[in-house]
Structure 1
Amino acid sequence: MGVLRGLLAVAALWALTGVARADLLVLVHGYLGSSHSWEAGGVVPLLERHGWRRAGLLRIGPAGIERRPGPGAEAANKVYSVDLPSTAPLMVQADLLAALLRDLKTRHPDEPLHLAGHSAGGVVARLLLVRHPRIGVASLITIAAPHTGTLRAVEALDETDGSGPVGWFRDLFGGNLYQTVKHSRGVLIDLTPPHPGSLLHWLNLQPHPDIAYHSIVRPGPTGMGDELVPAFSQDMNSVPALRGRSRVVVSDAAHGLAPGDAVLLLGLIDKSSWKPNR
C-alpha cells in the first residue's frame, strides 16, 4: 500500500502544468448532496482554472437521461457532474449511475473515464464498478467515503425509529430535515458497518475490476477520522477485496468538500495507471 501524505507535490505539479490529455472526470455527490456540492465546495471552479472544463450535468428524469451541456463540452479534459437520488438505497443509485455512464461512454468512447465520489458517493461509485464492471472506468478516487460503514448511520436510524410514543413526538417536532432522514432509512441501512446479510458485507467481498484505486482520507484532529466517518473506513485497503490495492492520500480538511480536493484529484488522475505490485 502506498501511503502519501500532503498534496503529493510532484504529482500535483505535473497535473497543473497543462500536459495535454483527453480525459473524462465524473463527480458523484454524497448523501443529501447534489451536483452543486462540488461547485459549492470550490472543487469545480479550481478544476476549471487548471484546464478541466465544465462539460455538463447528467441526471435521470421522467423521460429518461437528461443532458445539460456545459461550456466545456468540446474541451480536451471534461468534468461532468451527476445528480442522483441520494436518499435512495445505494444499489438504486449505482444502477442509475451506470445508465448515465453508459450514455456518456457512447459519446466519448475513446477517452479514459475517472470517477470521483465524495462520502456515500464513493461507495455508490464502487458498487457501480462491481455491478457493472464492463463500463470501462479507468480509476476510482473516493473522498471521505464510508467503505466499511459508519456508526453515524446507526445513530441516524436510532433517532428516526418511528415506533412508540417517542417516535410520535419526533414526527411532530422533528422538522423537515428529520423527515428527510427518516425517509432515507434504506440508504442509512446500507451505510451501517458490515455484518452478515448487509450490503457492505456483500460488496466488500466481491471481486473488483483491475483499475487504479485512490483513497483520500480525512483523519480529523485526533487522527481517528472526520466528524462522520472513521479514518480506517475511508481507506479502501480496509475492504477485504481491495486490501493492498489502493493508494492513500491524507487530507486535513473536514468531511465536506474543499478546494484542496481539486488539487488532489488532479494529481491522482495523473497517477491513474498506478497499481500496486501483487
Structure 2
Amino acid sequence: MTYHFNRKFLIILFLVLLYLPGMLLADIAILVHGYHTGGKTWRASGITQVLASKGWYDISFSGITPENNGKYIVAVELPAKAPIEVQANYLSQYIAEISQKNPQHKLHLIAHSAGGLVARLALINNYASVINGNSNEFIPIVQLITIASPHLGSPIAEMLYSAAADTPIGFFAPFIGLDEINDAEVLYKQLSREHKNNFLYWLNRQPHPPIKYISIVRTDGSLLSGDIYVPPHSQNMAFIPAVNQHSQVVLTPGDHALKFNDGIIISHLLP
C-alpha cells in the first residue's frame, strides 16, 4: 500500500511542478534531429526561421543564456547512427543541463524521424527514475511533438538490417560506399517494425510521463510523392499502447524530410 500511495503522490507532484502557474515563466523548444542528419537540418528546412518570426529565439550556437521570460530554441546534436539508448543518454544530458541552468523554463521536445524514439526513451527513463524513487529531478517537459517518426517501425529499416545481417551486402558495403549500413546496423534493427519481444514492442509498452503527445503524420505513403520510409500509421503515437488516447494527431502531406510547412504547424502547437 505504501508503494502505491507514494507512486500516486509522485505523479500528482510531477503534474503540479509542470503546470503550476507562475513557476515556469519561459519556454525552450528542444529540437531533436533524426537519422543521418544533425541540428542544422532544422535551419536548412526553414523551420527555425518560421519559429523566429513567431518570437522564438535560436540560441543553439550563440552561447546566450535564456532570460526568465521569452521563447527559445535549442537544436541538439546527437550521434545519429548510434543505437537509440546511446542517443537517448546524450539527449537526457542535454535536457538535464538545460533544465538545471533554466529551472523556470517549460521545455518542449520536438523530434523528427528516429529522433522521436530517442526523445520518448529519454522521457521514459527520467519518468521511471522519478516514479521508482531513484531520482527527485522532475524534468519540466510539457509536450512531445514528433514528425514522421517510426513509432511502430519502418519496413525500410528492417530491410537494411536484414541486408547487413544476413547477406553479403553487409561485408561489401564499405567497398561500394554503403558503409553506413554496417555503422547503423543496431539502429536499423531497433527501427524495424514492432513485433513481440523486439525493441519497439518493449518501448511502446513502457510507462510514459503524463504530458501532451502530438504526432505530425505524413498522410501519403506513395513511392513518388509520399513518405517511403515510414508508413503513416507508424507515425501516429495514438497507436502506441502506453500513449494511446493521450495523443493528438496533425495530418500533413509530403515526403519524409522536414519541411517549411512543419515550422508553421509547430508554431501553432507551441505557446
Give the TM-score normalised by structure 2: 0.81
Aligned to 2:198: 198
Gaps of at least 5 residues in structure 1 are 1-20, 58-67, 271-278
Aligned to 2:122: 128
Q: CA deviation at 1:254?
A: 1.6
Aligned to 2:8: none
Per-residue displacement from partner, 1:145-195 (whole Å, max 9, x unpaired)?
Answer: 00011111111113334754x5544443x21xx102321011111111122
Per-residue displacement from partner, 1:200-230 (whole Å, max 9, x unpaired)?
Answer: 1111011111001100000116599621101
Aligned to 2:20: none
Aligned to 1:52: 56
Does the CA-based 8 Å contact 1:204-1:239 persist in structure 2? yes
Alpha-carbon separation, structure 2, partners of 1:91 and 1:220: 30
Describe the SS at the equivalent of 2:152. coil
Question: How many equivalent pairs are there?
Answer: 235
Describe the SS at the equivalent of 2:202. helix
Q: 1:144 aligns with which of 126, 145, 148?
A: 148
AA of the residue aligned to 2:203: L
Alpha-carbon separation, structure 2, partners of 1:232 and 1:105: 33
Identity of aligned residues (%): 35
Does the CA-based 8 Å contact 1:54-1:73 persist in structure 2? no
- Does residue 1:256 correspond to 2:257, yes or no? yes
Alpha-carbon separation, structure 2, partners of 1:269 and 1:234: 20
Give the TM-score normalised by structure 1: 0.79
Describe the SS at the equivalent of 1:30. coil
TM superposition outliers: structure 1 runs of 4+ over 6 Å:
none
Does the CA-based 8 Å contact 1:54-1:79 persist in structure 2? yes
Alpha-carbon separation, structure 2, partners of 1:195 and 1:222: 24
Gaps of at least 5 residues in structure 2 are 1-24, 128-137
Does the CA-based 8 Å contact 2:221-2:232 persist in structure 1? no
Describe the SS at the equivalent of 2:196. coil
Alpha-carbon separation, structure 1, partners of 2:228 and 2:221: 10
